[in-house]
Structure 1
């Protein structure tokens, strides 16, 4: 069961898998319109399950990394951040953001073939209806980033792949084209910057919203190019043909599917508690990714 903090001056609105939303409250006790406090927790989800225990400092690492990336991407797309002046109890892992109507599509782009994209390619020779060259293997670099959207399922349910035609039907042709273009551009820019720092970004998921009054274009929201929303690989170890070592929560997924955990994805049973060394290693991977990318010490 997800618990949330009580924050003076804020009303709790919603808790997702890993984030909590609060509305600022005015002197009259009414929520301030057009603003939300987005708090990144230390919770971690894998295979649509919430893991226990939490990963220390994860919320702060992801928040700081997203803020850094928003700066790197500011010429490509506006973002939702208004201020980092937040209550002391959530300092470092929260941002005050614009209220947006979020698009009901998970915008995903892939620069390398792995995971669910690899499975679909092996079965059909394509990913999300996009035909790919023959002979690709796990870890292959794609000729250019490919847009591979999914549905946005409620907590506890699985996201399902969508074709571009389905995205057009959901969002309208013009918005669908722009979501595809921006998602691929964000991943391409991410790899341009991360590649120079020894990290390959295999794929990423981004979230877009629009102003409630419909003014302006798409706004980048939530988090961006973090180890939670993306697959990060050490460039020096990249070797297509097998799964790559990674800086992201893939480490947790690999432990969960190992004999050591004794858990089966198909069992329907909740996964076991993460051992202390898995928690420590996961934290270390998140911090290393942050430090490599930003050049700052966490």
Structure 2
């Protein structure tokens, strides 16, 4: 099958769309294919902002997201992340099987555009909550703190500044929304829906993953301000699924630039958000294409964060 029937690229070479001959569901960035006994996750170069998928992609973004997830999954395999859970008799499991294009896919399509941007993963029954961990006070957590002095029912000391490091990381779950924003909720909501034992297990695993990853990142001069994890059940056991600790699911800052009391420069789509905010786009209609310099700056910023972590 000719590659142009399967893949759609923009003028900058960003992969915006895949149409493999397998059942598919699409997220904002990833295309997920059901291969029967497993799933194939394709990280495209799409980028979203303010709940819209933009018409411009970020070249190389999909490969970078896949490489970063693989970096952290490998750290789980070696015990650098989650080793103390294994010591306690509850080893941390994840869904990644491999990152090579399966033969059954390569036999049916030109597999070259998929190289370095796919994950083959185990199927799981998805837990309907985002497991958010915050180590610093920013984003929706900062807004909530300003309004009430707490985040998701977790009371915080008075007088904290924007981007202040918290005394210890906090677990603030969110409901998963099919469209629009996820909703931050107290852990009591999770307990009510999942049961106390499962909610506590998710809380403990999320905090351990964050704390271990934050130590690894700190050695590379990177701060992980906050992140969100997804979990699912496979054969009855909870396991980490989806992407993990990428710029699309986490807020990364350079340690040598960190200064509490102001917004920080992030290794993510900050340039895109700022350009859209300064444009005349009304956020109620399809967003405009990104200027080439914004595309390039964003690609470089994603790459800089990944390079620091993997150095």
Question: Do these two structures clear the TM 0.5 threshold for a shared fold by scoring above it?
Answer: yes
Q: CA deviation at 1:268?
A: 2.4
| Alpha carbons of structure 1 residues 12 and 3: separation in structure 2 relative to 1, 3 Å | farther
Q: How does 1:187-266 map to 2 (within 5 A)?
A: 187-211=210-234, 213-214=235-236, 217-258=237-278, 261-264=279-282
Q: CA deviation at 1:269?
A: 2.9
Pick from 96, 102, 107 the counterpart of residue 81 of structure 1: 96
For the pair 1:159 / 2:182, whether they are aligned, the reply is: yes
| Alpha carbons of structure 1 residues 200 and 3: separation in structure 2 relative to 1, 3 Å | closer
Could you tell me how far apart the structure 2 residues matched to 1:52 and 1:147 are? Answer: 34
Contact 1:205 1:230 in 2 (8 A): yes
Contact 2:18 2:31 in 1 (8 A): no
Secondary structure at the counterpart of residue 218 of structure 1: strand
Contact 1:6 1:12 in 2 (8 A): no
Secondary structure at the counterpart of residue 281 of structure 2: coil
Q: CA deviation at 1:105?
A: 0.4
Could you tell me how far apart the structure 1 residues matched to 2:124 and 2:64 are? Answer: 24
For the pair 1:55 / 2:92, whether they are aligned, the reply is: no
Contact 2:16 2:45 in 1 (8 A): no
Pick from 155, 163, 173 the counterpart of residue 131 of structure 1: 155
In the alignment, what sits opposite 2:23? 12
Could you tell me how far apart the structure 2 residues matched to 1:50 and 1:4 are? Answer: 12
Q: What TM-score, normalized by structure 1, do the two folds share?
A: 0.88
In the alignment, what sits opposite 2:202? 179
Q: CA deviation at 1:254?
A: 2.2
**Residue deviations 1:73-128 (CA, integer Å, cap 9, x gap):** 33322110112221423110001110000100011110000111001001110011
Could you tell me how far apart the structure 2 residues matched to 1:263 and 1:93 are? Answer: 31
Q: CA deviation at 1:226?
A: 0.7
Could you tell me how far apart the structure 2 residues matched to 1:149 and 1:250 are? Answer: 24
Q: What TM-score, normalized by structure 2, do the two folds share?
A: 0.85
Q: How does 1:279-294 map to 2 (within 5 A)?
A: 279-294=295-310
Secondary structure at the counterpart of residue 178 of structure 1: helix
In the alignment, what sits opposite 2:167? 143
* Structure 1 unmatched ranges of 5 or more: 25-31
Q: CA deviation at 1:36?
A: 0.7
RMSD after superposition: 1.7
Contact 2:17 2:44 in 1 (8 A): no
For the pair 1:97 / 2:110, whether they are aligned, the reply is: no
In the alignment, what sits opposite 1:36? 39
For the pair 1:276 / 2:287, whether they are aligned, the reply is: no
In the alignment, what sits opposite 2:87? none
Could you tell me how far apart the structure 2 residues matched to 1:242 and 1:138 are? Answer: 6
- Report which stretch shifted further, 118-127 or 77-86: 77-86
**Residue deviations 1:151-179 (CA, integer Å, cap 9, x gap):** 11013x22111111001112211111111
Contact 1:4 1:15 in 2 (8 A): no
Could you tell me how far apart the structure 1 residues matched to 2:289 and 2:170 are? Answer: 36
Q: CA deviation at 1:4?
A: 4.1
Could you tell me how far apart the structure 2 residues matched to 1:62 and 1:5 are? Answer: 17
Secondary structure at the counterpart of residue 183 of structure 2: coil
